[in-house]
Amino acid sequence: MATERVELEAPLDFAFQGVVRLIVGGIAEQASFGFEAMDDLQLAIERLLAETGGDGRVKISFEVTDGGVRTRVGPLREGQLADALQEPDGDMGTLTLRRILSTVVDSFGVEEAGDGQIVVRLEKLGTPLS
Amino acid sequence: MEGRAGRAAQQREDRELLRRYHETGDTLAREKLIARHLPLVRSLARRYAGRGEPLEDIEQVGAIGLIKAIDRFDLDREVSLATYATPNVVGEIKRHFRDKGWAIRVPRSLQELNAKMSSTIDDLTARLGHSPSVMEIAESLGTTTEEVLEALEVGSAYSTLSLDTGPGGDDEGDPMETIGSEDEEFDRSEDRATLGPALARLPEREREILRMRFEEGLPQTQIAERVGLSQMHVSRLIRRSLVAMREELG
């Protein structure tokens, strides 16, 4: 399957989380993810958006490949979020956003997007039907 | 006659446990009362099965009604706890359905599909040896992938709301939260994206599920086996716990 790209711009409002989750579900289905992998990707994006703590809108892009789904969220004006994502994990028992993402996606990172903004990258590999 | 005598004995034991809880603050007595009356909750919850929500979720809501009844019970009342608790449990369940608008806003076909989802996913996981794809779930249920996604979504949306307690402006907080005790294993942190303090206030079962998922790194299927819930229910508990923790932090 050729790499396909899907772009989405959505309100950060909690009321629209369901819409985003539904779209993420559809994308995960296209990548032949199993229920659990789909749920993981949905949770990753959901928690990331929740932690931005902002209102306004957010851009999310997805690349669906044979290998999985690469997601980019942002640009976001959120220096504190970037710090939290780049800090090493805290002691066991401290449930940070970093720990959540480390568990549910295969890799993630932060890119500078200029003008004090960041883009968060998430990669969920397509361990088929897992 | 034996049944009547047995009920009378149970009522006396209930009253003694209620007295210990209300007069001396014996929380062990409270836990015993909860355990003794969970079969009543399950029986009442079954009346509301088949309305688009897993029975185990309805039982959980009913248990909140039971706990409220135990906490509010007036020892001067000449009534059994079962009699007093029944309208509390039923009321909690009805209010839950009403406030979330589940039966009103969600088409019946999706409610029914959602109700089948949990067991279907578990059955397919066991049969196929892997977490089933949306396509596999759809084929098993004789429906489309779009409908499966919609049904999963209405369940998720519903469950993220359903941890909220005190519906209708009730500000009593979640009685289930009082069961869990502070867990010193979870450190406090000033980090905005750290959910540790709120974690400590979750019910014990939810904390344990989060610990298994995010510390042990166990997949949902294994957690589901360990705690005796469906995979979908574990997924919902994780999601709603994280939402509740974030909301608590503001």
Instruction: Tell me the pLDDT tens digit for each residue of A92-118.
Output: 556 788 889 999 999 998 888 888 788
Q: Could you tell me the two tokens for B185?
A: 């294993």
Q: How confident is the model at residue B176 (pLDDT cuts 50, 70, 90)?
A: very low
Count Cβ atoms below 10 Å from residue B169 Cβ, excluding itself: 5
**B186: contact with A, CB 8 A cutoff:** yes
Pairwise CA distance, residues B58 & B111, whole Å: 14
pLDDT value, residue B52: 65
**Whether the predicted pLDDT of B183 surpasses 70:** no
A111 Rama sector, left if φ>0, alpha if ψ -120 to 50, beta otherwise? beta
Please tell me whether residues B51 and B67 are part of one structural domain.
Answer: yes
- State the ipTM, two decimals: 0.88
B86, B152: one domain: no
Q: CATH code at A77?
A: 3.30.565.10
- B89-127 residue pLDDT tens: 988 888 787 666 554 466 778 878 888 888 999 999 999
Contact A39 B128 (CB under 8 A): no
Distances (CA, A) of B175 to A64, B30, B107, B180, B195: 44, 12, 32, 10, 21
- Which residues 6+ apart lie within 8 Å of B205 measured at CB? B227, B237
Q: What is the pLDDT of residue B111?
A: 79
Radius of gyration, alpha carbons of chain B:
20
**Closest Cβ opposite residue B191 in set A32, A43, A84:** A84
What is the count of structural domains for chain A?
A: 1
E strand or H helix that includes residue A65? strand A57-65
Above 50 in pLDDT, residue B192?
no
Q: Give the best-scoring range by mean pLDDT among A113-127, B169-183, B222-236.
A: B222-236
> Residues B176, B197: one domain?
yes
Whether chain B has a CB inside 8 Å of the CB on A49: the answer is no
Residues 6 or more apart in contact with residue B129 via CB below 8 angstroms: none
Contact B193 A95 (CB under 8 A): no
Contact A20, A52 (CB under 8 A): no
Does A130 fall in a domain? Answer: no
Residue after which a domain boundary falls, among B102, B137, B161:
B102
Q: Could you tell me if B56 and B149 lie in one domain?
A: no
Interchain proximity B242–A47, CB inside 8 Å: yes
**Length reported for chain B:** 250
| Contact between B186 and A100 using a beta-carbon 8 Å cutoff | no
pLDDT of residue A60: 96
State which of B77, B102, B127 marks the end of a domain.
B102
Residues B221 and B112 in one domain: yes
Same domain for B119 and B201, yes or no, is: yes
Domain range enclosing A32? 4-125
**Boundaries of domain holding B46:** 2-102
Mind listing the pLDDT tens digit for each residue in B57-90?
889 889 999 999 999 998 887 788 998 898 889 8
Query: Is residue A39 in a domain?
Result: yes
pLDDT tens for A48-79 read 988 886 678 899 999 998 879 999 998 887 66
Q: How far apart are CA B213 and CA B189, in angstroms?
A: 20
- As a whole-number percent, the residues of chain A with pLDDT over 70 amount to 84
Q: What's the predicted TM-score (pTM) here?
A: 0.65
In tens, the pLDDT along B32-44 reads 999 999 999 998 8
